[in-house]
Amino acid sequence: MEVHKYQVDLEWIMDRKGEISSPLLNQKVEIATPPEFAKGMPGFWSPEHLFTAAVSSCFMTTFLAIAENSGLEFTSLSCPAEGILGKKEGKYAMTEILLKPVLTIPNIEDREKAEKIMMKAERACLISNSITSVVHMETEVLITEDLSV
């Protein structure tokens, strides 16, 4: 596989707030120090949110590729995630990420396959493989048939 590069630009706006963008993307995102820190600002994405979102969104994109290649039919996928900020070797670090994917599939016969694909997606996620945080996962598979009762 060839090397890929992803360019992100950052510009400080004021106080503890900045804006990230990319020359290849249309949206800009305001970011700030989270309110748990001195002079932090509530209501903005923080580096901690973005870190957690990177793991969660990588899980999703990896799952989608594996599910497609495996022929798994599903009707919905959501993945709430929680990033844990703690101390590691005396320094603040994102120590854990908890992913809670909820997958809805139409056929009960695919439940085991769906679980395996979710686990495989977490293990294959390039972001999870690039960080030192421990990634935990609590999966849930719902069956469309069960939802109609």
User: Tell me: the pLDDT tens digits for 20-62?
Assistant: 999 999 999 999 999 999 999 999 999 999 999 999 999 999 9
| Mean pLDDT (the chain, rounded) | 95
Q: For position 145, what pLDDT does the model report?
A: 72
- Are the CB atoms for 89 and 126 separated by under 8 Å? no
Domain residue limits, the chain: 1-45, 47-147
Region of 36 on the Ramachandran plot (φ > 0 left; ψ -120 to 50 alpha; else beta): alpha
Q: For position 148, what pLDDT does the model report?
A: 54
- Are the CB atoms for 108 and 93 separated by under 8 Å? no
Q: For position 1, what pLDDT does the model report?
A: 74
CATH number for 47-147 (one of 3.40.50.2300, 3.30.300.20, 1.20.120.140, 1.20.1530.20): it is 3.30.300.20
Confidence of residue 149 (pLDDT cuts 50, 70, 90): very low
pTM of the model: 0.91
